[in-house]
Amino acid sequence: MQIGIILLLLSLGWFKYIHFVHDTLREIAKLVNLHYPIPYQEVVLPLAISFYTLQAISYLADIYYGKQKAERHFGYFSVYFAFFPQLVAGPIERARKLLPQFKVEQGFHIENITYGMKRIAWGFFKKTIIADRLAPIVSSVYDSPDPTGSQIVLATILFSIQLYADFSAVSDIAIGSARMLGIKLTENFNQPHFSVSIGDFWNRWHITFSLWLRDYIFIPLCKGKKKRSDIYVAIIITFLVSGIWHGAGWNFVLWGLIHGIYRVFGDATKSSREKMASFIRLDRHPMIQRWWKIMITFWLVCFSRVFFRSDSGEQGLEHAQLFLSLSSWNPVELLHAFDMFSIVELVIFVFFYVVAHIFYYLERKNRSIWEWLSHRSVYVRLAVYIFIVASVVIFGVSGQEFIYGEF
């Protein structure tokens, strides 16, 4: 197992991080007045290398620990690693879930076809109407040499919306495409922007990756450890791995470190925060307390995404200073920042963003919006489906690649 994992990591490291290592060594050499002789070399990143590397590592580890038997059939083995719906951007599946499904003859079931088409249509709705409409607006701020603090604040909030719409969309399309083939993939998102803590956020965001980090990084690091300080170190390391996996840049390292600090701080202060909530009697108003937690968590997530969206660690620190400046949160200045929208674009975005949240509300109340719709009259169902498709055709924009396709 160790040799296989080392080879996988070396391959991933060469293609994804060789430039990052060279650039870092080159900068260090400049600081100490040394010549760095290795020239820049163009390296083409293989399609989906990050995702199938994680699946391969989980496969080897599960076999080693007796959780999965080695697959002797080359065809099933190959399909597991190259299953096209989730190859580029996940969900990151385990062999023990996918392989048994591949070994069962899948017939034609109209329920699978209709469900898959609904999920695909909903994915294109979020991608083309929300994510791709926000992308150029966010880029206009983050690519600007001199953005205002209020523009950074608004652009970062919009980027959080864009990132969720974009990434959950590609998961919807993957899940829908697989279901049409009779294969059930793992849900990858559960309305993460309604999380009440950072821990809750990571239970809802990129769920399959969070579980992968827990099972193959965090738990092995914690094996035999009982001291809380040792567990905190394991948390920090786990989130640093998450940051490094997301991209070869110090901005991603800082992003991962920030989330690690969030988790450690949240755990260390949990008791104190509960006592404070009881002292000010906030716990007597559970609805207010819940929404307060949601707003704080969303703010913390947005702050970390300043680094995620920035092009470098240095730029991330500059943008973070603007984000944290009190003047950047001046309501008047924030209103002025909306000038980045045209009136038409703003109306379209607000309308469809509200529509999406109506869907999310119904989903929170009924677990599955599609199951809820299946119990409505045929006229209601048709109206909803026609609205989704017509909205994509009329108001959808294209030309933006999926963000997580870069990772």
Of the three residues 37, 72, 102, the one that is the final residue of a domain is 102
| Residue 154 shares a structural domain with residue 85 | no
CA–CA separation, 209 and 54 (whole Å):
9
Task: Give per-residue pLDDT as tens, 166-190.
Answer: 999 999 999 999 999 999 999 999 9
Whether residue 156 contacts residue 316, with contact meaning beta carbons closer than 8 Å, is answered with no
Judge if 139 and 224 occupy the same domain: yes
Residues 118 and 85 reside in one and the same domain: no
Specify whether 345 is located in the same domain as 384. yes
pTM for the whole thing?
0.89
pLDDT in tens, 288-331: 889 999 999 999 999 999 999 998 888 999 999 999 999 999 99
Domain boundary among 83, 102, 121: 102
Whether the pLDDT of residue 14 is over 70: the answer is no
Residues 77 and 124 in one domain: no
Which amino acid does the sequence have at 125?
F
Is the Cα dihedral 314, 339, 135, 200 positive or negative? positive
Mean pLDDT confidence for 374-393? 90
Q: With CA atoms as reference, report the closest residue to 153 among 377, 406, 328, 18.
A: 328
Judgement on whether residues 10 and 66 belong to the same structural domain of the protein: yes
Q: Are residues 76 and 148 in the same domain?
A: no
Are 155 and 147 contacting, i.e. CB atoms less than 8 angstroms apart? yes
**pLDDT for the residue numbered 193:** 94
Is 155 in the same domain as 89?
Answer: no
Asked if residue 41 and residue 153 are part of one domain, the reply reads: no
The tens digit of pLDDT for each residue in 40-88 reads: 666 666 777 778 788 888 888 888 888 888 878 888 888 888 888 877 7
Per the structure, the count of domains in the chain is: 2
Q: Which residue is catalytic, options 35, 73, 109, 246?
A: 246
Based on the fold, state whether residues 216 and 85 are members of the same structural domain: no
Catalytic site includes residue 375: no
118 and 85, same structural domain? no
pLDDT band at 274 (very low <50, low <70, confident <90, very high): confident
Q: Residue 193 belongs to what domain range?
A: 110-406
Highest mean pLDDT (candidates 61-65, 239-243, 394-398): 239-243
- Cβ neighbours of residue 165 under 8 Å, at least 6 residues apart? 126, 127, 130, 131, 134, 356
pLDDT digits (tens, 9 = 90+) for 337-348: 888 888 888 899
Residues 57 and 82 in one domain: yes
Residue that is last in its domain, among 102, 118, 152: 102
